[in-house]
Amino acid sequence: MAQFRSLEHALKHFFGYDTFRPGQRQIVEQALQNQDLLVVMPTGGGKSLCFQLPALLKPGLTVVVSPLIALMQDQVEALQDNGIGATFLNSSISWAQVRSREEAILAGRVKLLYVAPERLLGEKFLPFLDLVKHQIGISRLAIDEAHCVSEWGHDFRPEYRQLQQLRQRYPNVPTIALTATATSRVREDISQQLALRQPTIHIASFNRPNLYYEVRPKHKQSYSELLQQIRTTDGSGIIYCLSRKKVDELAFRLKQDGVKVLPYHAGLSDEERSSNQTRFLRDDVQIMVATIAFGMGINKPDVRFVIHYDLPRNIESYYQEAGRSGRDGEPARCTIFFNYGDIKTIEFLIDQKSDEQEQRIARQQLRRVIDYAEGTDCRRTIQLSYFGERFAGNCGNCDNCCHPKPQEDWTIEAQKFLSCVARCKERFGINYIIDVLRGAKNQKIAQNGHQELSTYGIGKDKSADEWKMLARSLLHQNLVEQTADGYSVLKLNDLSWQILRRQREVYLAVPAQQTPTLEYRDRAEAEVEMLLQRLRSLRKQLADSQGVAPYVVFADSTLKLMAQQRPQTLSEFGKISGVGDYKLAQYGDIFLREIQGYCQEHGLTAQPAVKNKSITPQPTYTQLNTLELYRQGFTVEEIAEKRNVRVTTIVNHLCELIEINQLVDITQMVSPERQLHILEAIKAVGADVLKPIYTHLGEQISYEEIKLVRSWWRQQNRR
Ligand code: ADP
Ligand code: ZN
């Protein structure tokens, strides 16, 4: 510790980061004081650093217990790539390798040792640990994925139970347990099973602010929406499907369309699965289409989107699966494609379960998922309430907050629907009623003579999907009922009759037509983008030559900063967040050369980093929200109205965005001639105060326009 002025200094030295994530600093401090700790943080929260940094600052070896070989290997590679002495022992390595690693440990060249729980308690290993303790000391035990110790969790591993013995053998070695599981039951279990001594418990919020959550209707065009998202996203994505068959079909179709994609499901051989996973981690392919078999152990930090092409089974698994995106804290998108047909499929699967209790739980969970999918509240509020966390809503980063669905009056349609149910004598299900309403000509209707009903064909003006949406919503709002005998026959209740008697109105949240967001690119952004592509391919080359994943070399966010700031010297390069001293020495020259070469070819200069701090300010969610609408072509006034704020607020958002280098096409609001006038005025009277510019322009141009152009001018002149 003595060699570092502060913890921040040590953080930058070893990991290249400028600041701690929420909670990390306090945990590190307490770890340095040898306290027992229980850390509950969502995926991507930055748990590993909580024991890695203390391990580097303390004498002795930190022993990390981790359940998955792949995870272990990843973490060790990432540490080694930061020049940190780390290694692992598990069943995948040879006896000779074990020997040489043990020697390195005893020679004090290793600060972090990762082991699988079953090895830890092996006959030979404990005596070895005794030796380590005696010769160089054990600074701490870190139990990763600690929920594996609990039968109440979803990943129970009996080997974890034996960790208690380890605690008994080394009672004075402080322990840290880490998990992303949110329930209190599991938390208590961990504390007890691992015999933690008066542990300090850190529970981080489960909110993942960088994830954008949305639910989209699934229909015929969904595949092209999917394809478009893949093609317009720079980075990896996971697409979850319900069955192996669907995985194979979708992967095949995407491949036909030129997407680099691989499948992952339990029907593939072990080798295929592990090779597909590695190729995904290393960015050889962009997309993984998978069943939920593709799960824990995917700690690829730069997954940019997770799509559920079929409905997830329950909220907790949805949270975890979607949470595999954006672990690096950069924006990522989580989409569910939802239609009512999927519910039937899942219900069918539930019916296959033999245990009645299990069936009941599964049905209840499905209900919650449907509530989520149909919900019109902030998606975060719904998700977090599931974990008992209160969230105020209005997150500004989910579809319901960004594009609130208009409530429409569907009373007349509801009357048509319910009266059709009544006329069919409450003996049929949704699909049949819709057929009658839409005037279908089929045998069943003919047999029942229902083409004679007064409600036959009165619903042709709406599509079958729209009628289904209404029916679901009626069920959902308890305005009609459905039998639970497997036939799902519709039955009217008191509320249905109130509607029929015009004593009650029906409102529906109608999904807005989603306009796909097309990124507007100006020249500056295109330059950053092109340089970024080159840095990416350099990164890939270096990663391949070392047989590691690209993110091990540098994170996406770090590459982005390089492309934006275009450092020209090693010292500038070293200031970029994500560049620690070791990486600076290892990669500095080669990346600098690439950047300089690019600048020369394109006649560009450096883009000096923001003064004092090397962090580029990131837009806030409310700003991003504005930007998204703006890019969709809404005017400032429309955005103000939608978001229920003043026009000046929106203009201010745009100005701030421009000044932190976000792409905003101001021509949309200020014509090129007016831009020129404003620029001339700025030249004449300076940019500090608005009034003189306004006066200079003969009070002919609005303050809003001046502000926007001034921000653009400032941003240009900062380079
Ligand atoms: P978890 O285990 O909680 O899912 P990780 O420890 O894998 O999360 O960290 C997630 C990502 O965040 C990793 O890519 C890691 O390098 C990065 N990270 C961790 N701490 C910081 C920090 N203080 N600043 C920037 N990035 C960080
Ligand atoms: Zn929201």
Q: Per residue, what are the HEC states of 337-401?
A: EECHHHHHHHHHHHHHCCCHHHHHHHHHHHHHHHHHHHCCCCHHHHHHHHCCCCCCCCCCCEHHH
The pLDDT of residue 522: 64
State the distance from the centre of ligand 2 to the C-alpha of 121, rounded, in angstroms.
47
State the distance from the centre of ligand 2 to the C-alpha of 216, rounded, in angstroms.
15
Identify the residue whose tokens are 């930055």. 46
Say yes or no to pLDDT of 520 above 60: no
Q: Which atom of ligand 1 is nearest to the CA of 75?
A: 7
What mean pLDDT comes out for the span 157-178? 89
State the distance from the centre of ligand 1 to the C-alpha of 48, rounded, in angstroms.
7
Say yes or no to pLDDT of 610 above 60: no
Residue 193 burial (CB count, 10 A)? 19
- In this structure, what DSSP letter does residue 111 have? S
The pLDDT of residue 359: 84
Q: Which atom of ligand 1 is nearest to the CA of 180?
A: 3
Spatial distance between the Cα atoms of 548 and 552, rounded to a whole number of angstroms: 7
HSE-up of residue 353 (Cα within 13 Å, Cβ side): 13
Question: For residue 613, what pLDDT band results from cuts at 50, 70 and 90?
Answer: very low
3-state secondary structure (DSSP) of residue 325: coil
The pLDDT of residue 387: 76
The pLDDT of residue 28: 97
- In this structure, what DSSP letter does residue 159 have? H
What is the residue with the minimal CA distance to atom 11 of ligand 1? 328
Q: Which atom of ligand 1 is nearest to the CA of 45?
A: 3
Residue 290 burial (CB count, 10 A)? 26
What mean pLDDT comes out for the span 128-151? 93
State the distance from the centre of ligand 1 to the C-alpha of 328, rounded, in angstroms.
6
HSE-up of residue 626 (Cα within 13 Å, Cβ side): 26
| Ligand nearest to the CA of residue 213, numbered in listed order | 2
CB 108 within 8 A of CB 136: yes
State the distance from the centre of ligand 1 to the C-alpha of 47, rounded, in angstroms.
7
CA distances from 522 to 100, 528, 665, 671 (A): 55, 10, 8, 16
- In this structure, what DSSP letter does residue 609 have? P
Identify the residue whose tokens are 């217990």. 65
From 17, 25, 48, 210, mutation site for ligand 1 pocket: most ligand atoms within 8 A of C-beta: 48
Spatial distance between the Cα atoms of 366 and 359, rounded to a whole number of angstroms: 10
Burial class of residue 519 in the structure, from the number of CB atoms within 10 Å of its CB (0-12 exposed, 13-18 middle, 19+ buried): exposed
What mean pLDDT comes out for the span 586-600? 92
Q: Which atom of ligand 1 is nearest to the CA of 555?
A: 14
Q: Which atom of ligand 1 is nearest to the CA of 15?
A: 16
Spatial distance between the Cα atoms of 97 and 88, rounded to a whole number of angstroms: 10
3-state secondary structure (DSSP) of residue 671: coil
Say yes or no to pLDDT of 665 above 50: yes
Say yes or no to pLDDT of 518 above 60: no
Token code pair at residue 6: 């502060």
What is the residue with the minimal CA distance to atom 19 of ligand 1? 46
Higher-confidence position of 433 and 676: 433
The pLDDT of residue 441: 92
Spatial distance between the Cα atoms of 498 and 418, rounded to a whole number of angstroms: 11
State the distance from the centre of ligand 2 to the C-alpha of 340, rounded, in angstroms.
23
Higher-confidence position of 368 and 543: 543
Q: Which atom of ligand 1 is nearest to the CA of 20?
A: 23
The pLDDT of residue 562: 94
Spatial distance between the Cα atoms of 264 and 241, rounded to a whole number of angstroms: 10
CB 70 within 8 A of CB 119: no
State the distance from the centre of ligand 1 to the C-alpha of 447, rounded, in angstroms.
64
Higher-confidence position of 314 and 83: 83
Burial 488-510 (b: 16+ CB within 10 A, else e): ebbebeebbeebbeeeeebebbb
Q: Which pTM was predicted?
A: 0.66
Spatial distance between the Cα atoms of 307 and 654, rounded to a whole number of angstroms: 30
Spatial distance between the Cα atoms of 717 and 22, rounded to a whole number of angstroms: 34
pLDDT tens digits along 340-383: 788 888 888 888 888 888 888 788 888 889 889 988 888 998 88
State the distance from the centre of ligand 1 to the C-alpha of 199, rounded, in angstroms.
23
- Which amino acids bring their CB within 6 angstroms of ligand 1? 17, 20-21, 24, 41, 43-49, 299, 301, 327-328, 555
Give the strand pairing for 481-482 and 490-491: antiparallel
The pLDDT of residue 607: 62
The pLDDT of residue 297: 63
CB-based contacts of 367, cutoff 8 Å, min separation 6: none
| Ligand nearest to the CA of residue 552, numbered in listed order | 1
| Ligand nearest to the CA of residue 391, numbered in listed order | 2
State the distance from the centre of ligand 2 to the C-alpha of 209, rounded, in angstroms.
10
Q: Which atom of ligand 1 is nearest to the CA of 42?
A: 3
pLDDT tens digits along 204-239: 888 999 999 999 988 888 899 999 999 988 899 999
What is the residue with the minimal CA distance to atom 27 of ligand 1? 46
The pLDDT of residue 623: 80
Beta bridge partners of 88: 114
Q: Which atom of ligand 1 is nearest to the CA of 551?
A: 14
State the distance from the centre of ligand 1 to the C-alpha of 20, rounded, in angstroms.
10
Say yes or no to pLDDT of 294 above 60: yes
Least confident of 458-462, 511-515, 610-614: 610-614
What is the residue with the minimal CA distance to atom 23 of ligand 1? 20
State the distance from the centre of ligand 2 to the C-alpha of 126, rounded, in angstroms.
50
| Ligand nearest to the CA of residue 209, numbered in listed order | 2
Beta bridge partners of 288: 238, 262
Q: Which atom of ligand 1 is nearest to the CA of 577?
A: 25
Least confident of 194-203, 281-290, 401-410, 645-654: 401-410
State the distance from the centre of ligand 1 to the C-alpha of 329, rounded, in angstroms.
8
Q: Which atom of ligand 1 is nearest to the CA of 301?
A: 14
The pLDDT of residue 584: 93
- In this structure, what DSSP letter does residue 309 have? S
The pLDDT of residue 635: 86
